Amino acid sequence: MDIRRDDLDAAVDAGVLDARSRDRLLAFLAARAEGAAGPDNESFRLLTGFNDIFVSLACILLLLAAGSLLPGALGPVGVAALSWALAEYFTRRRRMALPSILLLLSFVGAVFATILQLLGGGGHWGTALAQARLTGHTTAFFAPFLVSGLVAAGAAALHWRRFRVPITLAAGAATSAVGLIALTGALSGGENALLAAALLSGFLIFAAAMWFDMQDRARLTRSTDIAFWLHLLAAPLIVHPIFAYAGVMRLDSGPLAAAIVLAVYALLTLVALAIDRRALLVSALIYVLYSLQGLFSAGEVAAAFGLTALLIGSFLVMLSAAWGALRARLLRALPPAWSARLPEPA
pLDDT digits (tens, 9 = 90+) for 318-327: 998 999 899 9
Do 90 and 201 share a structural domain? yes
Q: pLDDT class for 165, splitting at 50, 70, 90?
A: very high
Residues 251 and 299 grouped into a single domain: yes
Q: Are residues 146 and 194 in the same domain?
A: yes
Residue 23 predicted with pLDDT over 90: no
Q: What pLDDT is attached to residue 288?
A: 78
In this prediction, residues 187-199 reach a mean pLDDT of 87
Has residue 214 got a pLDDT over 80? yes
Q: Is residue 340 part of a domain?
A: yes
Write down which residue in 213, 238, 263 finishes a domain.
Answer: 238
Q: Do 151 and 8 fall into the same domain?
A: no
Comparing 236 with 138, the larger pLDDT belongs to: 236
Greater model confidence, 160 or 121: 160
Top-confidence residue, 240 or 305 = 240
Q: Is the pLDDT of residue 181 over 50?
A: yes
| 121 has a pLDDT exceeding 70 | no
Check whether residue 207 and residue 269 sit in a common domain.
no
Q: Once rounded to an integer, what is the mean pLDDT over residues 146-152?
A: 94
* Rounded distance between C-alpha atoms, residue 187 and residue 137, angstroms: 9
pLDDT (mean) for 35-48: 58
Which residues, other chains included, contact 30 with Cβ-Cβ below 8 Å and sequence gap of 6+?
36, 38, 218, 220
Question: For the segment 70-98, what is each residue's pLDDT rounded down to a tens digit?
Answer: 887 789 999 999 999 999 999 998 888 89
With 90 as the cut, is the pLDDT of residue 106 above it?
A: yes
The C-alpha atoms of residue 115 and residue 338 are separated, in whole angstroms, by 43
**Residue 192 maps to a domain:** yes
160 and 277 both lie in a single domain: no
Backbone φ and ψ of 52, nearest 5°: -60, -45
Q: Are residues 215 and 104 in the same domain?
A: yes
Range of the domain at 226: 49-238
Statement to judge: residues 56 and 74 lie in one domain: yes
Is 42 a member of any domain? no
Mean pLDDT of the chain: 82
Are residues 26 and 56 both part of a single domain? no
Picking from 221, 238, 255, the residue at the C-terminal end of a domain is 238
The answer to whether residue 44 sits within a structural domain is no
What pLDDT, on a 0 to 100 scale, did the predictor assign at position 87?
96
Is 98 among the domain residues? Answer: yes
Identify the pLDDT of residue 301: 53
Number of domains in the chain: 3
130 and 158 together in one domain: yes
Instruction: Give domain status of residue 43, yes or no.
Output: no
How far is 258 from 227, CA to CA, in rounded Å? 31
* Count of beta carbons in the 10 Å neighbourhood of residue 328: 15
pLDDT-wise least confident of 55-64, 140-149, 224-233: 140-149
Q: What is the pLDDT of residue 12?
A: 78
Q: Say if 41 falls within a structural domain.
A: no
pLDDT score, position 35: 42
Residues 164 and 290 in one domain: no
Q: Are residues 229 and 267 in the same domain?
A: no
Query: So what's the pLDDT on residue 120?
Result: 67
Q: Which band of pLDDT confidence, cut at 50, 70 and 90, is reported for residue 104?
A: very high
Q: Please name the residues in contact with 247: beta carbons below 8 A apart, sequence gap of 6 or more.
A: 253, 257
**All residues at 6 or more sequence positions from 274 whose CB lies less than 8 Å from its CB, including other chains:** 327, 330, 331, 334, 338, 342
